[in-house]
Amino acid sequence: MTRFTSHWEKVYIENSALETSWYEESPAVSLELLELTGMNADTSVIDVGAGRSSLPATLVGRGVGDVSALDISAEALRQLDDANGRVARVVADVTEWRPARTFDRWHDRAVLHFLHSEQTLAYRDTLLNALNPRGSLVIGVFADTGPESCSGLPVTRYSETDLVTWLGEPFDIVTTRRHTHHTPWSSAQDFVWVVARRRDPVVFQ
């Protein structure tokens, strides 16, 4: 168990949902941006760092047939609404995870910004291993005007350009979005979101 695992286990054991800054009553921005990518009953979605978000169960409720939730904290996933077993739960560190299958959609709200330097490269490797060709991603992180730490951990803040540059060559950007999240105690947190589509692999003949 790494110190990050024990940090997050403790967070979910000791704090109710309303005691965590990232709590939102409805995952409205995530849903809106995922809808932009076009989803149907056959679409597979992984929510990376899902915590105990209502997003996975909401997607199941909207008819998405193949929904997975990954988190470093087993306790978070124990508390997650798994829609009566229809959300597959994966306990793993995204920077070390070797996915046994691939997905059509990758969603991350408020996870990437906890990673720094080479950890972000490891995250990107996992993303590229997990996402199907022509699959899409929706990632939301603290903006350059957002908080400098969260849950007692330092974060990396991003502008739209930072995020797009980090994603790099194999993606076409569909859109970026700024959104201010209000914590349960009414603090404002600026997020920047990106929606991108993975390009077809180039075939050399």
Ligand X SMILES: C[S@@+](CC[C@H](N)C(=O)[O-])C[C@H]1O[C@@H](n2cnc3c(N)ncnc32)[C@H](O)[C@@H]1O
Q: Summarize as ranges the residues that interact with ligand X (CB under 6 A).
A: 4, 8, 22, 49-51, 53, 71-73, 76, 93-95, 109-111, 114
Q: What count of Cα atoms within 13 Å lies in the side-chain half-sphere of residue 119?
A: 11
DSSP calls for 13-67: HH--GGGSTT--SS-HHHHHHHHHT---TT-EEEEET-TT-SHHHHHHHTT-SEE
Q: Kindly state the tokens that stand for 139.
A: 């990632």
Q: Tell the smallest beta-carbon distance from residue 180 to ligand X (Å).
A: 15
Dihedral angle sign, alpha carbons of residues 136, 191, 81, 60: negative
| Inter-CA distances, 64 with 78, 111, 187, Å | 21, 23, 33
> What is the nearest approach in angstroms of ligand X to the Cβ of residue 100?
16
Which amino acid is it at 152?
A: G
Q: Please, which residue, 129 or 161, has the CB nearer to ligand X?
A: 129
**Measured from the CB atom, is 22 or 166 closer to ligand X?**
22
Q: How far is the CB of 120 from ligand X (least distance, A)?
A: 11
Least distance CB 111 / ligand X (angstroms): 4
Calculate the alpha carbon distances from 106 to 21, 45, 137, 164 in Å.
Answer: 23, 6, 5, 16
Closest CB 205 distance from ligand X, rounded Å: 39
Q: Which C-beta is closer to ligand X: that of 29 or that of 174?
A: 29
- Count of positions (residues) in the chain: 205
- Pick 161 or 180: Cβ nearer ligand X: 180
Q: What are phi and psi of 60, to 5 degrees?
A: -60, -45
Both tokens of 109, joined, read 């709200």
**Which one, 186 or 205, has the nearer CB to ligand X?**
186
| CB closer to ligand X out of 116 and 134 | 116
Smallest distance, ligand X to C-beta of residue 161, A: 23
